[in-house]
Amino acid sequence: MINTDLSIQLANYANLYKSMPTLPAPPKPELPALSETEKEILIEAERAWKAYSHSEQGKKELAAVSGMDIVSARQYVCSLLDKPEFARLRQLLDKLDFTEACFSIGLNFEIQALLGFSATLGVAVGVGQSKGAQAAEFVSISLIEGAEIGVMVGVEFGIWRCIPTDLAGPAWGIQAGFGLEVEGTIAIFSTKSLKLAGATLTIGGGAELGISLVESYTFILDSQGDDPYIKPVVQPRKNNFLIIESLKCEHPSNDGGGDENEVYFIFQADGDTRYPYPTYDYFSMKEGDSWACGRSVWFNNSVAVTIYDEDGTSDDDIVGTFSLSLSNLSLGQTVTIKSDKDYSSTFDKVAYTIKVKLVATNIQ
């Protein structure tokens, strides 16, 4: 079972992918021939992976993946190609002579979160004449049926005829053997223009017999850090459910921009993932304004809510903090809660309140 944070973080990409229209798949392309070097690279990738994953160090590191969130999992994936077991693979990659080429390595996860999907969290580096091109960390998403509840199922290597950042977008693949003597599953991918995009070798997971079509969408992650491009939206199910029905500005802070605050809040259930609301941007409020934000929250015991006034020139200001706990709420009742920290004695006399309704408890 993988870290819940990672499941949820990956689910946000699946959500974005799901929100896109279903693109008509291009006609099934002719199975293109892989060059001898490409075949050799995939075979060596499998050998190197076996050597690494069976080593004591490899077993230890792979076991630790289950506890990682997306940030630490990305760091781990980026370190894989530098392992000593991959030395010969790196030499082969240097032999590629395509004008544009990159090699990717990623970890596969299968996740069930209302819909089932598989996610590959990986990194692609420029090789051949593209050596030195900007590397790209990515998440590739495929929707699937019958996914497990958050498991790591294998590793995926890819050799691509493009620079790393061009992996972004949809791709269609055909899984087949292609005459390669490997135990993993080979898939040849094409882009919308029907050009050969590359080939992947997946080791572990549900390798399918015969030929099947796969469709995926790749997001380039860029530098996400504490302010990720894709912010968390999907919440894991917990025992109880409340709604922050509204937020009232009793008195705004004076942030130098007048008497209006640019408000957003972060909510965190049981010390888990921090969710912003609005997910992006803010809501402007003046004294006396109420914002019917209607933000639902799943929780077990407690929810921490921190209200911020966005400040474009410096760190955002905290204008209210609230600690909600199951024991202080009554089922079906809406209560008005004041900030834990009293800002009313400060120069600005800042004051915000929230209205919270406990909607359901012990949810099955």
Q: Which residues bind another protein (CB under 8 A)?
A: 11, 14-16, 18-21, 113-115, 229-231, 233-235, 241, 243, 245, 260, 278-286, 289, 292-298, 359-360
| Per-residue CA distances from 362 to 114, 235, 271, 298, 329 (Å) | 20, 17, 19, 11, 14
Beta carbon of residue 139, minimum distance to another protein (angstroms, whole number): 15
- Give the residue with the Cβ less far from another protein, 178 or 241: 241
Beta carbon of residue 113, minimum distance to another protein (angstroms, whole number): 7
Beta carbon of residue 158, minimum distance to another protein (angstroms, whole number): 23
Q: Are 104 and 124 in contact (CB under 8 A)?
A: yes
- Give the residue with the Cβ less far from another protein, 86 or 267: 267
Residue located via tokens 């060059």: 35
- Give the residue with the Cβ less far from another protein, 114 or 207: 114
- Give the residue with the Cβ less far from another protein, 37 or 224: 224
Beta carbon of residue 350, minimum distance to another protein (angstroms, whole number): 18
- Give the residue with the Cβ less far from another protein, 46 or 245: 245
- The runs of H, that is alpha helices, within the chain are 4-18, 36-54, 56-65, 70-80, 87-95
Q: Are 62 and 53 in contact (CB under 8 A)?
A: yes
- Give the residue with the Cβ less far from another protein, 280 or 347: 280
Cβ partners under 8 Å of residue 188, min gap 6: 29, 31, 32, 34, 173, 174, 176, 178, 196, 198, 199
31: amino acid identity, one letter: L
Beta carbon of residue 292, minimum distance to another protein (angstroms, whole number): 7
Beta carbon of residue 245, minimum distance to another protein (angstroms, whole number): 7
- Give the residue with the Cβ less far from another protein, 79 or 284: 284
Beta carbon of residue 53, minimum distance to another protein (angstroms, whole number): 33
Residue 353 phi, psi (nearest 5):
-130, 160
Residue located via tokens 């790591």: 152
| Per-residue CA distances from 267 to 137, 143, 244, 262, 281 (Å) | 28, 29, 10, 17, 15
Residue 333: name the closest of 245, 238, 239, 235 by CA.
245
Give the tokens for residue 185. 């599953």
Identify the three-state secondary structure at position 326.
helix
Beta carbon of residue 280, minimum distance to another protein (angstroms, whole number): 5
* Chain-centroid distance, C-alpha 198: 23
- Give the residue with the Cβ less far from another protein, 157 or 352: 352
Burial classification of residue 268, based on how many CB atoms lie within 10 Å of its CB (0-12 exposed, 13-18 middle, 19 or more buried) = middle
